[in-house]
Amino acid sequence: MVKSSEAALGAGAVVGCLLAAPSASSFATGQQGAPPSRLLEQKIRLGPTRGQSHAPSLKQPPQQQRPALLAAAGAGAALAGAAGGRLRPAGAARRGVIAARASAGVLHAPPVAAPLTVSAAGEGCIRLRHASGATCDVSVYAANVLSWRLPDMGEQLFMSSEAVLGQPGTAIRGGVPICWPQFGTFDEAATGAPKLKHGFVRQSNRWQVSEVSEDAVSLRLVPDAEMLKKWPSEFEFIYTVSLGAKSLRLKMEVTNTGPQPLEFTGCLHTYFRCEACTDVAVEGLKGETVDVGIGDFFRGTEVEDREQVTFDGKSEIQLLYGSTADAIVVKDGDRRLRLTKMNMPDWVLWNIGDDNRHTLPDLPLGEQRKYVCVEPGFATVPQRVKPGATWCAMHEVEAL
């Protein structure tokens, strides 16, 4: 019997986010993108409307517009601009979709030059900017973070050069896909799971922009009839991406708007860019309970005994650590990323490896070594939300 974590203190309760977040203090010191409460004065309300199929575009003075993102007609073109800094005409799109053609794992976003204002919010992509020069691109389709660039360290996220962006029903191979309301093939872990690998929000075109400022954006998803067929649960999902000087914060808030308890599993499936996955090590997992190889449920029969967990590049690495501590460090040469999570019990490590790369048609040969996925998850303990209550979880990546 799997225990569920109950996020229900009564109608309207917000669980988790009211607790001190790992970097809550960095907001006060100006190190971090403004939290939504501080966005109130700066924000541009775009007024999400149920049934509206596209995020509305922001009207900006021409000098602030970034042609590669804003002049593009349609989500796919804007997405291509975000991911690769290049646009392809509609005729060049495969199956009406534009594949990002970034070179192996490195995204070529345009240089940061524009004034510090809301700098890009087209139909398909939002570009966030921080005064430090950091940028982040967020696809409205799937609410997928596509790119996170730091002035001194460059691109931090991996995007497959064969990723398909903006095609409903297709998940994006890279950035930060949101796996929800089901983790992997955990078909039975939560009551009423949709039995869809990694859920459906990572491949939905129903997300809408609800708030945006220069360094933060909130996207909102409510189910349409099609989603309700897959998973008959009423909910409102707000996903907020905030950019700091050296950090990226991701917050999920799910409100149960239906009459029945809501139960789900999931994760934020972050792909980190690297030159060679064999050079990457993850610290902070020693002593944690782990499944080596991820199945349909958590067995939790082994204990991690390594100080540094590594990726051999050849074999697929699939590790699910259950009910863990909240901070780990990803090391890649001199680069250090500190990952923290709140109200998510698990960490997941994944790299497809040479042996199984062929099973991923959207990952070209060689690129399997250019990423590691290190993911905060809520798989081993399904999350439970009472009617009217809100579940909240947060993840932050900070460059050290």
Ligand X SMILES: O=P(O)(O)OC[C@H]1O[C@@H](O)[C@H](O)[C@@H](O)[C@@H]1O
Footprint on this chain of ligand X (rule: CB under 6 A): 171, 184, 197-198, 294, 318, 348, 350, 360
Which of residues 129 and 198 has its CB atom nearest to ligand X in the complex?
A: 198
Q: Which whole-number Å values give the CA distances from 252 to 67, 135, 395, in the listed order? A: 31, 20, 9
Please report how close the Cβ of residue 348 comes to ligand X at its closest, in angstroms: 6
Which of residues 83 and 209 has its CB atom nearest to ligand X in the complex?
A: 83
Please report how close the Cβ of residue 194 comes to ligand X at its closest, in angstroms: 14
Please report how close the Cβ of residue 109 comes to ligand X at its closest, in angstroms: 23
Which of residues 171 and 222 has its CB atom nearest to ligand X in the complex?
A: 171
Please report how close the Cβ of residue 51 comes to ligand X at its closest, in angstroms: 28
Bridge partners for 205 per DSSP? none
> Of the candidates 106, 97, 319, 295, which has an alpha carbon nearest to the alpha carbon of residue 197?
295
Which of residues 182 and 247 has its CB atom nearest to ligand X in the complex?
A: 182
CA–CA gap between residue 292 and residue 273 (Å, rounded): 23
Residue type, 297: F
Q: State yes or no: cis peptide before 181, omega within 30 of 0.
A: yes
Please report how close the Cβ of residue 77 comes to ligand X at its closest, in angstroms: 24
> Of the candidates 270, 102, 266, which has an alpha carbon nearest to the alpha carbon of residue 174?
270
Helix (H, G, I), strand (E, B) or coil at 226: helix
Which residues fall within 8 angstroms of residue 339, CB to CB, at 6 or more apart? 327, 328, 329, 330, 347, 374, 376, 395, 396, 397
Which of residues 2 and 360 has its CB atom nearest to ligand X in the complex?
A: 360
Please report how close the Cβ of residue 320 comes to ligand X at its closest, in angstroms: 8
Which of residues 184 and 244 has its CB atom nearest to ligand X in the complex?
A: 184
